[in-house]
Amino acid sequence: MKFTVFVISLCLFLSCSSYAAEKTTLRIGVQASGTLEWELAALPDDPRFAVQITPVATAEAGKIALQSGAVDMIVSDWIWVSNLRATGSDFTFYPYSSTSGALVVANNSPIHTIADLKGKHLGIAGGELDKNWLLLQALALNGQLDLDDAVEKTFGAPPLINEQLKQSRVDAALTYWHFAARLTAQGYRQIIDGKGILKGLGITENVPTIGYVFKQSWADKHKAAVNGFFNASKAAKNRLCTSDADWQKVVPLTHADDLPTQTKLRQGYCEGSIGQWGAPEQQAAARIYNMLRSISNSRLTGSSESLQDGTFWSQK
């Protein structure tokens, strides 16, 4: 009894700070309607961290928020991280998803292979340095086809490219995976996806296209919370991919009203799971970096001749 009174009195005096370590707050920049929003909604409670979501309008807005210190973490790509490290920054990357883009055509299209794109009008989500577009060009060159010269090109935001295909203003669309999923759910046909492109280029490892990006110095100070978050994130993804009940809870976040689209989105999301992330995958990423550097004439990768050390964070 005396011990209980002593603990209560001490707790009042210290505001209990000695007895309950506060959770580390992770400020994460999140784009609306992205898959990260689904995953964060399914996170289990954890004593090591709490998530504070900061909405960002675009991917570029997220990068600005991260670099300014307005958020601790965003989802982006490792090419950008390598570029930052080449300038002396200590940003680093941890895998989130390996799902990327896809080449899609109308179901009755005469296009069945990349070679069939010759002379056709291709809609491309993003700009001239979009990684899907660069890697598709690299694969076409293996078949002696200079795709950049062989097709008429229209670049634009993914929703615009989808509409261009629906209105038959382009013959094929190279677009981000979730926009491709919405098209295939409506009866459009996929020619090849990002993983298929990489396989054609000799990359068989499951390499992430996007991941969590954050400062290494910040993560080193909050290792328990950061490791806890990454483990919880994997657990959340696993539940969304294996439990129909858990998936139904995030369906409203997909903004898809019909079951075929919801099913395609779930399939694409789950196919992006990273089961293995070690030396073979990181070496494959370095090979992809060299391909992108070559095909873009260093415009995407910058002046650095190789992927920078420290680009990938080691979870310890």
Alpha-carbon distance values, 56 to 21, 125, 272 (Å) = 30, 20, 23
**Amino acid at site 262:** Q
- Calculate helix-pair angle for 279-295, 131-142, nearest 10 degrees: 80
Lowest-confidence region among 9-18, 177-186, 214-223, 271-280 = 9-18
The overall pTM is greater than 0.75 = yes
SS3 of residue 113 by DSSP? coil
For domain 101-200, give its CATH number from 3.40.190.10, 3.20.20.140, 2.40.110.10, 3.30.43.10: 3.40.190.10
| CATH assignment, 22-98+207-295 | 3.40.190.10
> What pLDDT does residue 12 have?
36
> What pLDDT does residue 33 have?
78
DSSP 170-199: SSEEEEEHHHHHHHHHTT-EEEEEHHHHHH
Checking if the pLDDT of 259 tops 80, the result is yes
CB 122 within 8 A of CB 235: no
In this predicted model, what pLDDT tens digit does every residue of 79-121 receive, in sequence order? 999 999 999 999 999 999 999 999 999 999 999 999 999 999 9
**Amino acid at site 35:** T
Question: Given pLDDT bands bounded at 50, 70 and 90, which one contains residue 34?
Answer: confident
Domain boundaries, the chain: 22-98+207-295, 101-200
Q: Would you state the structure tokens that stand for residue 39, as one six-digit string?
A: 């995953």
Cα dihedral value 279, 284, 288, 290, nearest 10: 70
Overall average pLDDT of the 226-239 stretch: 96
> What pLDDT does residue 315 have?
73
In this predicted model, what pLDDT tens digit does every residue of 149-175 receive, in sequence order? 999 999 999 999 999 999 999 999 999
Checking if the pLDDT of 312 tops 90, the result is yes
CB 223 within 8 A of CB 316: yes
> What pLDDT does residue 54 have?
97
Question: Given pLDDT bands bounded at 50, 70 and 90, which one contains residue 21?
Answer: low
Please check whether the two domains, 22-98+207-295 and 101-200, share a CATH topology: yes
Lowest-confidence region among 14-18, 48-52, 183-187 = 14-18
How high does pLDDT run on average in the chain? 92
Checking if the pLDDT of 20 tops 80, the result is no
CB 241 within 8 A of CB 266: yes
